[in-house]
Structure 1
Amino acid sequence: MSAAFLGIYDSLKKKALKDNAVIPILFLNTLFSSLIFLPFILLSGMTDMLDGSIFHVASGGWEVHKFIVLKALIVLSSWILGYFGMKHLPLTIVGPINATRPVMVLVGALLFFGERLNVWQWVGVSLAVISFLLLSRSGKKEGIDFKHDHWIYMIVGAAALGAVSGLYDKYLMAPAGQGGVGLDRMMVQSWYNIYQCFMMLVMLLLLWWPKHNQTTPFHWDWAIIGVSVFLSTADFMYFYSLSLPEAMISIVSMVRRGSVIVSFLCGAMFFREKNLRAKAVDLALVLLGMIFLYIGSH
């Protein structure tokens, strides 16, 4: 369900960004997401209405919130790169690149957590690399040079930071006895949205507003609200699954990246993007690589 909602979120984000200013849209997205979770924070802190429910937000001091602030910085950095890249690239290019995040998560686990890949996982990683090379070939047909296009670098950077965020999520959710911090998932999701909102407000006032008359103008699009609603729902389901005792970040990350199927179909149906047959082959290789990673993780 998280993957399905994430695919719709990507498609609405593409629509909202069309001929629109990026920074105010990102600020509004963080604002609406914060407003969605603010009632849960207030009800949890001032009443016992949510006690024992999946919507209860735990409380804590700076020793806890410092981890959430870092989470907000990582995610917001990924979003800034991803929003600018998506605005200038076809959704059918962005989706498959983002789908390589599980590979980056596995490589991160290999480098930082001392994990070792088995044969199945190495095949999965190899297929993902091949699909990326093929995707660059498909992009050239639309005038996109992967080696020299800075929008491509932004999407790759966003995917890499997203992988870092995924590894960090597992660290935050894992119990202290398993080497993690053991944070409450609702506390992480609620407060990192609020911290991001304040960070984006500073960027809006200092970077965008002084020069807003000289850059792409902002116009309202109802898709902006949809972006916040679908992302918040997708993240809620993601954090819930990750908080379960037997959850493996490699598996969760792979299933979540299945969102690329939804965003790819939306790119084909609603945005009328080109060169779909070649891109579909590239996407199939990414998904096949994810299947090999899934088998290897078992």
Structure 2
Amino acid sequence: MWLLLAFCSAALLGFYDVFKKKSLNGNAVLPVLALNTLFSSLIFIPFILVSRFCPSALQDTIFFVPETGGWEVHKYIVLKSVIVLSSWTFGYFGMKHLPLTIVGPINATRPVMTLVGALLIFGERLNLYQWIGVLLAVVSFFMLSRSGKKEGISFEHNRWVWFVVLAALLGAISGLYDKYLMGMFNNMVVQSWYNIYQLFMMGAVLMFLWLPKRKTTTPFHWDWCIPLISLFLSAADFVYFYALGMDDSMISIVSMVRRGSVVVSFLFGAMVFREKNLRSKAVDLALVLLGMFFLYLGSR
């Protein structure tokens, strides 16, 4: 069951990347990110309020948000917010300046980082099929660097590539931390409150960093894809947290499957954004998909 939920989360994440790329084109990054945290918070605040003041309405549903133990619980969620928001910030800037068909496959290597942590921290063990899937993902990253050079994108010297890589590294750390949190707390508690804490953090960033310099940087303009970023991300994360809460779930596999979102983003990058060098990138994508298939075989 948890594996099917991971595939569902992957599809939702693919559309999240597409709407994010569309919203960032020619747009100021920080306001888009701030609005994402705002709309995500607005999705979950009603669940918190109903659970608090009319608990019988949600008590026996997966949307119920239990009361927390105060700061002893929330300090862990605040740390989650800092990690995720840092990852998003680097990822949003990288997404704005790089083709979607480059960003997607780079992000698809994130589970390799998660895998190393899962092996060291949680003692997870992979079988032969799963190891083949991981190795294919590693090979795809090196092949992608060759495809990027055809567009003048040097993986060694392009700072936006390093932004995406750093975002992926922080995302891997977040994934490992998620497995730890799901062993301690309810998934709705974590998802609801970490979005709210991110809203306050981004409010401070806008006030002290963006607003004073907004007239000298890229101007912000509204795009109706911005609320769709929050909608699809919230749905993807909800399914993801629910899967991680299952006793037999493996973060190394869930994280790898979620990177299947690259299929959706790649197709939109090709058909909607008309990006270049699709033939060589398609080979990289095929390796990622083949890796996903081996992971599926190893998890049956």
What's the TM-score bracket when you normalise by the shorter of the two chains?
over 0.9
- Secondary structure class of the residue paired with 1:213: helix
Residues 121-130 or 76-85, more deviating: 121-130
In the aligned structure 2, how far is the partner of 1:112 from the partner of 1:234?
25
C-alpha separation in 1, matches of 2:65 and 2:201: 22
1:245 and 1:257 mapped to 2: Cα distance? Answer: 22
Shift of 1:297: 5.2
CA distance in 2, matches of 1:195, 1:237: 21
Per-residue deviation at 1:123?
3.0
Structure 1 unaligned spans of 5+: 175-180
- The reply to whether residue 95 of structure 1 matches residue 104 of structure 2 is yes
Corresponding position of 2:173: 164
The runs of at least 4 consecutive aligned structure 1 residues that moved more than 6 Å come to: none
In structure 1, the partner of 2:5 is none
- After superposition, where does 1:51-70 map in structure 2 within 5 Å? 51-60=59-68, 61-70=70-79
Match of 2:115 in 1: 106
Cα distance in 1, alignment partners of residues 170 and 66 from structure 2? 27
Q: Could you tell me how far apart the structure 2 residues matched to 1:266 and 1:131 are?
A: 20
Q: Answer yes or no: is the 8 Å Cα contact 2:118–2:251 preserved in 1.
A: no
- Look up the match of 2:136: 127
CA distance in 1, matches of 2:42, 2:140: 39
Counterparts of 1:297 and 1:170, CA distance in 2:
18
| Other-structure match for 1:18 | 25
Distance 1:237 1:286 in 2: 22
- 1:233 positional shift: 1.0
Matched length: 291
**Which residue number corresponds to residue 4 of structure 2?**
none
Cα distance in structure 1, aligned partners of 2:220 and 2:293: 41
Q: Does 1:203 align with 2:194?
A: no
Structure 2 counterpart of 1:184, from 186, 205, 209: 186
Q: Which residue of 1 aligns with 2:266?
A: 264
Using the TM superposition, give the Cα deviation of residue 36 of structure 1 relative to its aligned residue in structure 2, in angstroms: 0.7
2:287 equivalent in structure 1: 285
Amino acid at match of 1:250: S
8 Å Cα contact 1:125-1:289 kept in structure 2 = yes
Deviations along 1:197-244, one digit per CA (max 9) or x if unpaired, are 000110111111101000000000010011111111111111112212
Q: Is 1:84–1:151's contact at 8 Å kept on the other side of the alignment?
A: yes
Distance 1:146 1:99 in 2: 16
CA separation of 1:230/1:56 partners in 2, compared to 1, >3 Å: closer, same or farther? same
Is the Cα contact below 8 Å between 1:68 and 1:192 reproduced in 2?
yes
1:140, distance to aligned residue in structure 2 (A): 0.6
Q: Match for 2:91 among 64, 76, 82?
A: 82
2:58 is aligned to 50
Alpha-carbon separation, structure 2, partners of 1:78 and 1:260: 18
Letter in 1 for 2:37: T
Q: Percent identity?
A: 70
Q: CA–CA distance in 1 between the matches of 2:298 and 2:88?
A: 30
- Say which SS state the counterpart of residue 216 (structure 2) adopts: coil
Separation (CA, whole Å) in 1 of partners of 2:268 and 2:253: 25
Residue 59 of structure 1, CA deviation:
1.2
Point out the more displaced range, 117-126 or 272-281. Answer: 117-126
Question: Once the 2 structures are TM-superposed, how far is the Cα of residue 141 of structure 1 from its aligned partner?
Answer: 0.7
Alignment partner, residue 226 of structure 2: 224
Question: How has the CA–CA distance of structure 1 residues 255 and 122 changed in structure 2, closer, same or farther, with 3 Å as cutoff?
Answer: closer
**1:293 deviation in Å?**
3.8
Q: Which runs of 5+ in 2 are unaligned?
A: 1-7
- TM-score, with normalisation over the residues of structure 2? 0.93
Instruction: Return the offset for 1:137.
Output: 0.6
Indicate which of 34, 37, 40 corresponds to 1:30: 37
The residue number in structure 2 matching 1:9 is 16
In structure 2, the partner of 1:178 is none
Partner SS, residue 219 of structure 2: coil
TM-aligned CA deviation for residue 246 of structure 1: 2.1
Q: In the alignment, which residue of structure 1 is the partner of 2:155?
A: 146
Q: How far apart, CA to CA, are the structure 2 residues paired with 1:118 and 1:2?
A: 24
TM-score by length of 1: 0.94
The answer to whether residue 221 in structure 2 is matched with residue 212 in structure 1 is no
Q: CA deviation at 1:294?
A: 4.1
Question: Is the Cα contact below 8 Å between 1:27 and 1:200 reproduced in 2?
Answer: yes
In structure 2, the residue matched to 1:243 is: 245
Matched AA of 2:58: L
Give the aligned partner of residue 3 of structure 2: none
Evaluate the alpha carbon distance shift between residue 263 and residue 234 of structure 1 in structure 2; reply closer, same or farther with a 3 A threshold: same
Deviation for aligned residue 1:77: 0.6
- 8 Å CA contact retained: 2:129, 2:294: yes
